[in-house]
Amino acid sequence: MTDPSARLIDGKAFAASLRQSIATEVGRLKDRLGTVPGLAVLMVGDDPASDVYVRNKARQTAECGMKSVERRFAASLTETDLLEEIARLNDDPTIHGILVQLPLPAHINADRVIAAIRPDKDVDGFHPVNAGLLATGGKGLVPCTPLGCLLLLRDVLGDMTGLQAVVVGRSNIVGKPMAQLLLQESCTVTVAHSRTRDLPAICRQADILVAAVGRPAMIRGDWIKPGATVIDVGINRIAAEGGKTRLTGDVAFDEAARVAGAITPVPGGVGPMTIACLLRNTLTAFARINNQD
C-alpha cells in the first residue's frame, strides 16, 4: 500500500469515543429515572455475517450499560410469528429500540416487517414514517450508517454550507438518507449511481464524495477532486492471496488517498460507526419516549 497523502478518518476511534459518551449519558439517566434504554435485536436464520454483527451489537449494547435482548429464530419462522414478536416488543415498556436483522428469509416480507415496528422504536430508521420525517426535516430516527457518515464529516469539515456533495448510490438504507442529511447541512447534493452518465465527471465535482454503490474499487483515483473528503461506505469481500479473502471498499483506496484531502479506510472507517449510531439511536428513542429529549 502506498503511503497516502490524505488524512485518514479513523472511524474506529471516533466510534469508541461516541460509545463512551453514550455510556456516560446512560448512567446519568439511570441515576435520574431508575431505568436504562433497552434494545431488542431479532434475527431469523443463521447467516454467518449477520450472526457476527448481532453478537457485536449485543456486546456493545451491554458495555454501554443498556439492556440487551436477543431473539433468534429458525429460518422456518413464519412471517405471522415474527410480526407477533414485534407486537410484543412494541408493547414492552423496557424496550426502546427494536431492530430486525436483515436479510430475512425469502418467505418473509421485509417491508411489512419494518412497517410493523413502532416508529419511535425503529432504531434502524427504516420505517416509512421515519423516512418521511427525514425527507421533510422532521424529528425522526435516522438510519445508522448515513448518520455515522454525517458525524465523521462534521468532525472533519465542521460547517459544510455550500459544499458540493455527490452520493454514489440510491438505496433506502444509505444513499437516499445520506442525501437528505447533506441537504440539511446546506450542501448542494447530487445523487448518482452505477447508471449515471459520465459518472467520473460527476464525482470530480464533489467536495464531499460518499461511495455507497456496493462495487469493489469502482471509484478510481482520477475520479476524485483534489482535496475532497471521501467517505467509503462499501464493504466488499474479495479474493486475496493464498485462497483467503479481504475486505475492500467501493473506492480504489491507494489511488484516491493520493488525491483526496481526507478519506475513510475499509475496514476501520464507516463500519464501526454503524453500531455506535445504533446505540445513539437507542438512547435517543429512550429519551424521547421518557420525555427527556
Active site residue 124: yes
Nearest to 262 by CA among 10, 27, 82: 10
Question: Does the annotation place 137 within a ligand binding site?
Answer: no
213 alpha-carbon distance from chain centroid: 14
**Per the residue annotation, which of 57, 121, 176, 225 is the catalytic one?**
57
Sequence-distant (6+) residues with CB within 8 A of 209 are 165, 166, 168, 203, 219, 224, 225, 228, 229, 230, 231
CA dist., res. 251 & res. 265, Å (int): 9
Question: Does the annotation place 269 within a ligand binding site?
Answer: no
Question: Does the annotation place 235 within a ligand binding site?
Answer: yes
CA dist., res. 171 & res. 2, Å (int): 32
Question: Does the annotation place 22 within a ligand binding site?
Answer: no
10 Å CB burial of residue 211 (0-12, 13-18, 19+) is buried
**Per the residue annotation, which of 120, 122, 124, 207 is the catalytic one?**
124
Active site residue 244: no
Strands 236-239 and 245-248: antiparallel
Active site residue 180: no
Nearest to 157 by CA among 224, 211, 206: 206
Cell of 258: 493520493
Sequence-distant (6+) residues with CB within 8 A of 219 are 168, 203, 209, 211, 213, 230, 232, 250, 251, 252, 256
**Per the residue annotation, which of 60, 67, 101, 120 is the catalytic one?**
101
Taking CA atoms, 265 is separated from 124, 178, 248, in Å, by 24, 19, 9
CA dist., res. 219 & res. 146, Å (int): 19
Phi then psi for residue 46, to 5 deg, are -130, 40
Annotated binding site for NADP(+): 169-171, 235
Annotated binding site: 169-171, 235
The residues annotated as belonging to the active site are: 57, 101, 124
